[in-house]
Structure 1
Amino acid sequence: MIHAKLAKAIQAYNEELIELRRKFHSEPELSFEEFKTTAFVCEYLENLGISYRKTKPTGVIATIEGGNPGKTVALRADMDALTVEQLNKDLPYASKEEGKMHACGHDAHTAMLLIAAKALNEIKEELPGNVRLIFQPAEEIAAGAKAMVSQGAMDGVDNVFGIHIWSQMPTGTVSCTPGPSFASADLFTVTFKGKGGHGAIPHDCIDAAVVASSFVMNVQSVVSRTIDPQQPAVLTVGKMVVGTRFNVIAENAVIEGTVRCFDPTVKDHIEQQLRNYAEQVAAIYGATAEVEYTYGTVAVINDEESAKLVQKTAAEAFGAEVIYHEKPTMGAEDFSEYMMKAPGSFALVGSGNPEKDTQWAHHHGKFNIDEDALATGAELYAQYAWAYLNE
């Protein structure tokens, strides 16, 4: 199942792989602003002779056409950075853009897929099918995958595979467990309207601060008391804006938060309970409530057959000891948009190494990766494509 030429090529290109990752890390671009990254990817693919097309406003879809007819497998890497200030500025490849940073590993994903593409392109005459390459923008705002799918990224694709560098796992380990992997992520906004007035005359007012505070304190019981404890769910209030001045009773309060879970029926239940709690809490105080609930990403649920193929491929490529079983995370990933079009799986490749100070959580200002993990990710991309097409 493992192609020896792919393994040898990845090893030969390891220095270039690290250089690519460092280039992307030092030049971070935010969601739908990845113009330089897109241009670089296009130039790189053109030099390899791989056909591609740019998507709007950013992103690239490319295809390596095999020498023999067969299925089409898609490999996806995201490219966008975050509005995070880099704290480990002593790195020789630290971000050159103040307030912007690759704090999630997307720089690594893009570099790994480029090198995987280079290796696969060298054996394209042996491929029984095609490899679709998806360089996606705007994962961090959960909009990029939808944009890529709408522009044909999954047209004719039979299976899709993605990788995420994971600092919470030891360097070089690989986790791809069948079933739930990343949770769905929805957003909600609750606006309470009371009756403002002087801080010294509360009996003539309806204090929106009190209403909002009561809601925040009580709404957690939606998860703790109305959902089966064996069903994972998170309801987080992340922002509350209320009041304008110390001696003015607030008339309005706006609360923003997120809902995470794996089961669509649980999501529907939480949404309805959010509306009930907001309306009933407001009614207690004589205020009014308006709830806006926005559906975000769908949960990433690994297809069993695809996930087992990832495990088998990783074990054969790197040894059975690399297989790791990471628990599902309540974090979100818009990779699920591709899996709505074709079966597939999403793997985690460990990059955490305290000796190299790469154990920091994703989205932290000190986030970094153990670059020994890059070759593992690049080869896993390439070997999975080969393995799937040869099933």
Structure 2
Amino acid sequence: MKSTIEKLTPTLTDIFRHLHEHPEISWEEYETTQYIKNLFEEYACRVSTFKNSTGLVVEVGQGKPVVGLRADIDALWQEVNGTFQGNHSCGHDSHMTIAIGSLLTLLEGGHPDNGTFRFIFQPAEEKGNGALTLVEEGIIDDVDFLYGMHLRPIQELQHEQFAPAIQHGAARFLEGTIRGEDAHGARPHLNANAIQVGSEFFQHINSIHIDPMIPHSVKMTSFQAGGKNANIIPGSATFSLDLRAQTNEAMDDLMAKVERISNMLADYHEVKVDLKMSANVAAAVINDEASSIMREAIIECVGEEKLEPMITTTGGDDFHFYTIKRPNVKATMLAIGCNLQPGLHHPDMTFNHDAIPPAVEIVTDALIKTVKKYNQA
């Protein structure tokens, strides 16, 4: 396998460069989908796209088990050097490259005869609803094992360190509106100042307390009110909230408290305060058998000295909806150390690209081990 990956490395470098230079945001990954599809047209594999969605699935092999590898394909929309643009600052360009490299390794280096390898190139992870859309497409209804991967910041893993699982937390993004009437600046008694309502909302969410043993946070991440006239007291505003919790149960607790704050402020100030969930990412549900196979693959491919324990992070990933919606699927994610800094989602994020070939080897070995273990059982 190493010799195949070494031969493929220059090709993977070109693939990564193309994907990095052509980022597309969630649900708009049209060129990315077509580019990946074109890569495999000449190979003996099955390529499927979706009628109502970007993304694609590529399969090789046949029969049971069905072992999946998922890569997210969307980029973030953020300001880079003063310009808003698509940007792969979460490492999805590398995730795609690793999955493509694994598939090419199986196609060119050979794979077990019994078993189906399903490569899932999923859109809209950054929106938190890409996985749910593909679940509705039925792509994992017959999947036995599912693997994913994610680059980790330098604070969690150093270059050439790998962990067999990522214990992501839950995340919810809320869009809020405050609806009231404007008033003249000389008559503050005639309305509720939306800025004051928002300020009180901010103060109350910072006073939320749940079990301190469970990492959690609630932040107001945007607030807009008022206009160009300084003598108008705004009655309406919009805002957004970012909720994080390490468990799904703690997230439900946080959400209930935020909703009570919203209702209390609306009642007290006699305004309408509405909350709408724009994204909901579940906390990880990790399978011991899948993570054990990934652990074996790490040891065999790069050595036990580069194996690290499961990573626990308050970050989220919609990958975990696959196992929540289909509990029969055994899943885990490979954590990849690559000296990533200054951090995920930073517009100038960089990482050591030399981490890509060993990651390809590890996930490919995990796929093959899974099929062999299944057929031996």
* TM-score normalised over the length of structure 2: 0.90
**Alpha-carbon shift at residue 254 of structure 1 (Å):** 2.5
User: Is 2:18 aligned against 1:31?
Assistant: no
**Alpha-carbon shift at residue 314 of structure 1 (Å):** 0.3
Equivalent residues of 2:205, 2:219 under 8 A apart: no
AA partner of residue 388 (structure 1): T
Taking the aligned partners of 2:78 and 2:103, their CA distance within structure 1 comes to 30
Equivalent residues of 2:162, 2:306 under 8 A apart: yes
Residue of structure 2 in register with 1:49 after alignment: 44
SS at match of 1:221: coil
Residue of structure 1 in register with 2:163 after alignment: 175
SS at match of 2:305: helix
Equivalent residues of 1:127, 1:386 under 8 A apart: no
SS at match of 1:83: strand
Answer with 140-149 or 73-82: which moved more.
140-149
Taking the aligned partners of 1:147 and 1:22, their CA distance within structure 2 comes to 28
Equivalent residues of 1:197, 1:250 under 8 A apart: yes
Question: 1:59-116 CA distances to partner (integer Å, 9 max, x unpaired)?
Answer: 11111115xx53111011111112234459xxxxxxxx97222211111111111111
Match of 1:348 among 332, 335, 347: 335
Residue of structure 2 in register with 1:192 after alignment: 178
The 5-angstrom pairing of residues 1-391 of structure 1 reads 6-56=1-51, 57-65=53-61, 69-87=63-81, 99-124=85-110, 126-168=112-154, 169-177=157-165, 181-222=167-208, 225=209, 227-244=210-227, 245-293=229-277, 296-325=280-309, 327-340=311-324, 341=326, 342-352=329-339, 358-391=340-373
Q: 1:289 to 1:39 in 2, by over 3 A?
A: closer
Q: Percent identity, aligned pairs only?
A: 25
Answer with 261-270 or 313-322: which moved more.
261-270
**Alpha-carbon shift at residue 338 of structure 1 (Å):** 2.0
Taking the aligned partners of 2:277 and 2:125, their CA distance within structure 1 comes to 20
Taking the aligned partners of 2:141 and 2:313, their CA distance within structure 1 comes to 29
Equivalent residues of 1:175, 1:325 under 8 A apart: yes
Taking the aligned partners of 1:47 and 1:235, their CA distance within structure 2 comes to 49
Taking the aligned partners of 1:164 and 1:81, their CA distance within structure 2 comes to 14
Q: 1:125 to 1:116 in 2, by over 3 A?
A: closer
Equivalent residues of 1:84, 1:103 under 8 A apart: no
Question: 1:116-136 CA distances to partner (integer Å, 9 max, x unpaired)?
Answer: 111112354534311111111
Taking the aligned partners of 1:291 and 1:52, their CA distance within structure 2 comes to 40
Taking the aligned partners of 1:198 and 1:37, their CA distance within structure 2 comes to 52
SS at match of 2:257: helix
Taking the aligned partners of 1:43 and 1:187, their CA distance within structure 2 comes to 35
Question: 1:289-323 CA distances to partner (integer Å, 9 max, x unpaired)?
Answer: 33334561211222122112211210111001111
Equivalent residues of 2:23, 2:75 under 8 A apart: yes
Taking the aligned partners of 2:81 and 2:234, their CA distance within structure 1 comes to 38
Taking the aligned partners of 2:84 and 2:205, their CA distance within structure 1 comes to 38
SS at match of 2:345: coil
Taking the aligned partners of 1:60 and 1:49, their CA distance within structure 2 comes to 16
Taking the aligned partners of 2:242 and 2:84, their CA distance within structure 1 comes to 28
**Alpha-carbon shift at residue 287 of structure 1 (Å):** 3.7
**Alpha-carbon shift at residue 242 of structure 1 (Å):** 2.0
Q: 1:187 to 1:71 in 2, by over 3 A?
A: same
Equivalent residues of 1:103, 1:364 under 8 A apart: yes
Taking the aligned partners of 1:196 and 1:103, their CA distance within structure 2 comes to 40
Equivalent residues of 2:176, 2:275 under 8 A apart: yes
Q: 1:296 to 1:215 in 2, by over 3 A?
A: same
AA partner of residue 192 (structure 1): I
**Alpha-carbon shift at residue 286 of structure 1 (Å):** 4.1
Taking the aligned partners of 2:188 and 2:84, their CA distance within structure 1 comes to 46
SS at match of 1:38: helix
Question: 1:327-377 CA distances to partner (integer Å, 9 max, x unpaired)?
Answer: 42222211112223212001211111xxxxx52212222112211101021
Unmatched 5+ stretches in structure 1: 1-5, 89-96, 353-357
Taking the aligned partners of 1:50 and 1:139, their CA distance within structure 2 comes to 25
Equivalent residues of 2:67, 2:371 under 8 A apart: yes
AA partner of residue 174 (structure 1): F
Question: 1:208-255 CA distances to partner (integer Å, 9 max, x unpaired)?
Answer: 221221121122222xx3x11012212111111222332111212332
Question: 1:150-192 CA distances to partner (integer Å, 9 max, x unpaired)?
Answer: 2232132101000112232212211224xx6112221223333
Q: 1:39 to 1:196 in 2, by over 3 A?
A: closer
Taking the aligned partners of 2:267 and 2:29, their CA distance within structure 1 comes to 47
Q: 1:20 to 1:50 in 2, by over 3 A?
A: same
Equivalent residues of 2:170, 2:283 under 8 A apart: yes
SS at match of 1:140: coil
Taking the aligned partners of 1:236 and 1:127, their CA distance within structure 2 comes to 51
Q: 1:8 to 1:270 in 2, by over 3 A?
A: same
